[in-house]
Chain A
Amino acid sequence: QKEVEQNSGPLSVPEGAIASLNCTYSDRGSQSFFWYRQYSGKSPELIMFIYSNGDKEDGRFTAQLNKASQYVSLLIRDSQPSDSATYLCAVLKAAGNKLTFGGGTRVLVKP
């Protein structure tokens, strides 16, 4: 089992719809959780992070964390073609100061 798992996609959503991305992790003691967006040929860009159970909203993005079930999700509302990218989930494990990344989910927003 990988430490951080994501569906590779592509996740195809129509413009204006909600894109829902999921990420599961294996270390139950993980502390903090991050979502990065990476456009093709570019480096990752931090979208948001969450460390408490529940929802955290920032603009069109909402991160949801459920530590009991060991998953974190990202919702993108009113999806735009410019949201087409690979979204990386990253987890800070209980012991350590480095992030463990999932393989990423490719999202395609179609006009």
Chain B
Amino acid sequence: GAVVSQHPSWVICKSGTSVKIECRSLDFQATTMFWYRQFPKQSLMLMATSNEGSKATYEQGVEKDKFLINHASLTLSTLTVTSAHPEDSSFYICSARPVTYSSYEQYFGPGTRLTVT
């Protein structure tokens, strides 16, 4: 149980284009999903918290107009990187908290590796 998928697992795009990443909870419903970014040999950096049916809450320093988050259902959240630049190249990981969580646990997707050329 508690499986989270991400699509695509890796993507290469050209500078200036937009990329959409999907995060799905496969066997549970999640009112809250989180988006993280991780650079090589660094820890996770929370980008935003997304709640189903409402606007995402972005962490300080994260541009909401550049990283668009939509949480349209209890099993799907999307992150769109708009006008991507090489410095946006990173490992993007989502996580989901089950509706029936017992202690605020959250489960991670496998991640999406974005390379902007």
Q: Using a CB–CB distance below 8 Å, which chain A residues touch chain B?
A: 31-32, 34, 36, 42-46, 49, 51, 88, 92, 97-99, 101-104
Contact = CB atoms under 8 A, between A and B. Distances in A.
Contacts of B43: 88, 101-104
Interface stretch (B11-19, B62-70, B74-82, B99-107): B99-107
Interface of B: 2, 32, 34, 42-44, 46, 49, 93, 97, 103-111
Nearest to B42: A103
A42 B104 contact: no
A46 B44 CA distance: 14
Nearest to A31: B104
Nearest to B110: A43
Given A32-B104, A46-B105, A97 B49 contact: yes
A44 to B, nearest CB: 5
Interface of B is mostly: loop
Nearest to B94: A43
Contacts of A46: 2, 105-108
B103 A51 contact: yes
B73 to A, nearest CB: 19
Count chain A CB atoms within 10 A of each CB in B42, B46, B104 and give the residue with the most.
B104
Contacts of B93: 43-44
Contacts of B104: 31-32, 92, 97, 99
A103 to B, nearest CB: 5
Given A42-B111, A43-B93, A43-B111, 18 more contacts: A31-B104, A32-B103, A34-B105, A36-B108, A43-B108, A44-B93, A45-B108, A49-B105, A51-B103, A88-B43, A92-B103, A92-B104, A97-B32, A97-B97, A99-B34, A99-B104, A101-B44, A102-B43
